[in-house]
Structure 1
Amino acid sequence: MPTSEQRYSAYREKMQRIADVRYASAVLQWDQETYLPPKSARFRGQQISTLAELSHQLFSEDSLGDLLRELSQDSELSPVQKRNVALTLEDYTKNKKYTPALVRALSDAVNKAFHSWIEARKQNSFAIYQDDLEALVKLKKEEAGVLGYLQHPYDALLNEYEKGTTVALLDKTFGGLLPQLKDLYEKILHRPQVDDSFLRQHFPASQQWDWGMELLKALHFNFETGRQDKSEHPFTTSFSAEDVRITTRIDENDFGNMTWSCIHELGHALYEQGLPAGEYGLPLGEACSFSIHESQSRLWENNVGRSKGFWQHWYPVVQRHFPQQFKDVSLDRFYKGINKVQPSLIRTEADEISYHFHVSIRYELEKRLLEGSLHTADIPHYWNEQYKQLLDVDVPDDKQGALQDVHWSHGSFGYFPTYSLGSLYAAQLFAHVRKSIKGLDEQISTGQTQELLAWLREKIHSKGRLFISEDLCKEVTGEPLNPDYFLAYATEKYMSIYS
């Protein structure tokens, strides 16, 4: 009879083999979005689909299920081991619901949708993307049925990104948050506008790249276990805590595009690099949730990276990189300019307040697609209509409209709400860390972020999936998610900027 230790070792070995296959597929997907030659898409899609199917098969083996059930009854396991086993059994049970045919169909559909999305953006035509997206949406509806739900089909997909999240819960969250943000937004728009024209000069790509790399190094991205490249849409991916990749994009006529995508993706990457490497392949070696992941990127991007203290240290560095562009721009003018609130077309470039209207539009759109009250052919019209209604902007073309995000081509239906939840968690966490670390604001203003990162590593990164989001928030801050922290942060910040 195997001992508890031997059974747990067998479990760990099986899970690490499955992780090896999944991360091999992730490497191919990373390459697909960075360096893949234009005519290589067909076989790359086949390779990724094969690995997805193989991973599913390995994680569906009856012998693994038997082992997990044995371990779940083993009283000799440590609390950490018990948590790993419980989470894996939950994941295994869910995975068993998928047939190999559905897994391969989803992978094939994602591959087709991604490449048609790239081509649609090149030609600025949603029609090129529409049929492949329609096929993917049909499969996501099938997936929702396989996973099961009580009230709304979208609940099944939301739960994949944020455990326990439902349409009812999000409707309540957005319903309480957006009216207050709209009120603040309207007040700001009636104040004299700040100037950000200096951000839209010519900033050579090579100089922007050098600036971004210097910033990443100083903010403790470990280039011994990671790298940065360029892609159509900035993203972070990880193949282990010791191999984390980030990407950015550069617009030579917009300083902010690369700068804040670098800081945003840095937040994701620091989280991945801070996960317990010893738990590779196991739940406690994975991130808590997508909203907590987003809380890390939004915390670094906004609570730190758009604060005045941060730029007290970094603005002279920027001026050295771009002496002509910023020679006549004061720190105060720069700080106000990078926090300008205005209606905009592009989510990733939106200010911290209107950002949530962008997310809400996508959330409502996905909800309607899954329930069948909206069809893919209707997306551009619905999109343009909502942007006019909520932000009073006219969408000039598909590329700046319904084609701007990569998420649907990845099959990531249910992801978008985590962006808003992440911002809310970020504000709450940052308010707490400021109380926990004496003189944090002064540290940030002198370029010192080591203690902040160490706090995040201890309180968030090292926990893996030990807690669900709400419980982790309670563990760290003493209370569940409370949007009042974000509203207080935004009100204080923007009332100061806009007098």
Structure 2
Amino acid sequence: MSPSETYSSLVQKMQEVADLRYASAVLQWDQETYMPPAGAATRARQVATLTELAHAKFVSPEIHDLLEELGEGHGLEADQQHNLRLIREDVTKSRKLPGSFVRQMSETISKSFNQWMSARKENNFSLFAAPLAEVVELKKQEADLLGYEGHRYNALLNDYEKGATVTMLDAAFHQLKQPLRELIARIGSAPQVDNGFLHKNYPKQEQWDYGMNLLKEMNYDLEAGRQDIAEHPFSINFSARDVRITTRVDEHDLGNMVWSTIHELGHALYEQGLPEDQYGLPLGEAASLSIHESQSRMWENNVARGLSFWKHQYPRLQQAFPQQLAGVDLPHFYKGINQVKPSFIRTEADELTYHFHVMIRYELEKELIGGNLAVKDIPAFWNEQYKNWLGVIVENDRNGCLQDVHWSHGSFGYFPTYSLGSLYAAQFYKKATQDIPQLEANLAQGNTLPLLEWLRTNIHRHGRKYTSNELCTLVTGEPLNSAHFMEYVTGKYASIYLLT
């Protein structure tokens, strides 16, 4: 066969793998949204079977032979060569994991998720401790099978952020800790802003209706997506033409729904912007988890906690909730939604204290995977860290170490990408404002499309062609630089809190 014919055969095989993976993902989406509780055990088996089949097909001799035949990809187009290189990397990595191990991991994770749901409902970490301990042991085994240099946690970090290491992240958090603590301390000494209006009674249906209208205005393609309710907001995709998000509604916290919805929308807009013709291939996938988070954090914070956005959107919110927002003018609203105050819940945290939530989880995961912390000791470690770094006393497990879904999914190494994503978001947004001089004016008129088109052109269309820092350099002219984030938050909060 010619190189192009061999490549076409490889594409067919890769798309068959994607079919199985996305079929499994549909079942997982259903598990977190509509599945009746009694279906949990059978669902774990179904997902495990599909996961094992997808793994077996991915590491099959057929794909190996096609990769060998294609060699370095001579005779292929540039994008085809990129796909070939990345597929080879992925296959080499996946071949290190036996099919039996992949199945065991999948079954354990499905059971773990259901136990997490029960533990959250009962507000009792001990109900989750045993299945979580199984997941942790399997993640240690996975790291050992994959191989690593330095810390065992490095192998798991690499799943979400290629090339990320404990050494790199320790340095990144070290650079953020002191300037953030100083800025938070200055804010704490200033007259505080009021956000009590967010905690009045906001009926669930009215919140849902407003959120759906918001999604439409912000260019979420509802012909290629949908929104549902889940215990923990998430986004999931089965192709660029089927990208779904979830949110949650607290009738006494309007911000919970608004910014969870916009955060997940950011993820969904990225997935809807990936090349459709690269289905099942690396160039049809996101660059990395930190770049994914840069999209969600940009829309959530740089845009939707910005004054320009609400110049257009606030009258619509007032129309939806006239009694609750009576007497709250735009300046009051803007300051309130940007209140800086240490809290228990990561997803509801402000832009500044948020990074300490992430740092605590990062340090905890390092200790768990490194074997220095037992699962049973997580609540004590968690509560101590929250007291030390955020000065809050965690009163229960639901608002403490049971608040995130990630560990029940086996997602160890994910949390650091949230902070990295915020740093990338600030750097990308600064560049976007330079390239689109009327960006803030557009937002003030309710027009978010120019920013979305800029992201589609500069980030989404590349898929996984570049690593995070390569993409950042391509877009902004320099690798990741936390100074842009500190410049953004320092200017913003100095204005809000009248800091001198």
TM over 0.5: yes
Q: Aligned-pair distance for 1:109? A: 1.0
Query: Amino acid of the residue matched to residue 96 of structure 1?
Result: R
2-structure distance, mates of 1:185, 1:229: 35
Aligned to 1:271: 270
Residue 187 of structure 2 corresponds to residue 188 of structure 1: yes
Q: Which runs of 5+ in 2 are unaligned?
A: none
Q: Aligned-pair distance for 1:401? A: 0.2
Residue 6 of structure 2 corresponds to residue 7 of structure 1: yes
Query: Amino acid of the residue matched to residue 43 of structure 1?
Result: T
Aligned to 1:432: 431
2-structure distance, mates of 1:99, 1:55: 12
Residue 364 of structure 2 corresponds to residue 365 of structure 1: yes
Aligned to 1:311: 310
2-structure distance, mates of 1:373, 1:74: 45
2-structure distance, mates of 1:100, 1:57: 6
Aligned to 2:481: 482
Q: Aligned-pair distance for 1:411? A: 0.2
Report if the CA contact (8 A) 1:312-1:331 is conserved.
Answer: yes
Query: Amino acid of the residue matched to residue 196 of structure 2?
Result: S
1-structure distance, mates of 2:428, 2:72: 36
2-structure distance, mates of 1:62, 1:223: 40
Secondary structure of 2:38 counterpart: coil
1-structure distance, mates of 2:264, 2:248: 11
Aligned to 2:280: 281
Q: Aligned-pair distance for 1:462? A: 0.5
Q: Aligned-pair distance for 1:310? A: 0.4
The aligned runs of 1:186-335 (5 Å cut-off) are 186-335=185-334
Aligned to 2:140: 141
**Deviation readout 1:447-498 (Å, 9 max, x if unpaired):** 0111110000010000000000000000000000000000000000001000
Aligned to 2:346: 347
Report if the CA contact (8 A) 2:73-2:84 is conserved.
Answer: no
The aligned runs of 1:77-156 (5 Å cut-off) are 77-156=76-155
**Deviation readout 1:356-377 (Å, 9 max, x if unpaired):** 0000000000000011110100
Aligned to 2:61: 62
Runs of 4+ in 1 over 4 A off after TM superposition: none
**Deviation readout 1:333-381 (Å, 9 max, x if unpaired):** 0000000000100000000000000000000000000111101000000
RMSD: 0.5
Residue 408 of structure 2 corresponds to residue 409 of structure 1: yes
Query: Amino acid of the residue matched to residue 36 of structure 2?
Result: P
Aligned to 2:494: 495
1-structure distance, mates of 2:52, 2:283: 24
**Deviation readout 1:12-68 (Å, 9 max, x if unpaired):** 100000000000000000000000001110100000000010001001111211211
**Deviation readout 1:277-303 (Å, 9 max, x if unpaired):** 000000000000000000000000000
Query: Amino acid of the residue matched to residue 461 of structure 2?
Result: S
Q: Aligned-pair distance for 1:316? A: 0.2
2-structure distance, mates of 1:355, 1:65: 44
Provide the TM-score with structure 2 as the length reference: 0.99
1-structure distance, mates of 2:224, 2:67: 32
Q: Aligned-pair distance for 1:157? A: 0.1
Secondary structure of 1:244 counterpart: strand
Q: Aligned-pair distance for 1:327? A: 1.4
Q: Aligned-pair distance for 1:73? A: 2.8
Report if the CA contact (8 A) 2:346-2:354 is conserved.
Answer: yes
2-structure distance, mates of 1:23, 1:139: 23
**Deviation readout 1:82-139 (Å, 9 max, x if unpaired):** 0000000000000100001110111011011100000000100000000000010000
Secondary structure of 1:6 counterpart: helix
1-structure distance, mates of 2:43, 2:87: 29
1-structure distance, mates of 2:179, 2:73: 50
Q: Which runs of 5+ in 1 are unaligned?
A: none
Residue 465 of structure 2 corresponds to residue 466 of structure 1: yes
2-structure distance, mates of 1:59, 1:423: 33
Query: Amino acid of the residue matched to residue 409 of structure 2?
Result: H
1-structure distance, mates of 2:162, 2:311: 39
2-structure distance, mates of 1:232, 1:38: 13
Report if the CA contact (8 A) 1:230-1:249 is conserved.
Answer: yes
1-structure distance, mates of 2:492, 2:62: 56
Aligned to 2:397: 398
Report if the CA contact (8 A) 1:200-1:255 is conserved.
Answer: yes
Aligned to 2:381: 382
2-structure distance, mates of 1:280, 1:10: 14
Q: Aligned-pair distance for 1:72? A: 2.9
Report if the CA contact (8 A) 1:72-1:82 is conserved.
Answer: no
Query: Amino acid of the residue matched to residue 93 of structure 2?
Result: K
Q: Aligned-pair distance for 1:74? A: 3.3
Secondary structure of 2:323 counterpart: helix
Report if the CA contact (8 A) 1:72-1:86 is conserved.
Answer: no
Report if the CA contact (8 A) 1:303-1:430 is conserved.
Answer: yes
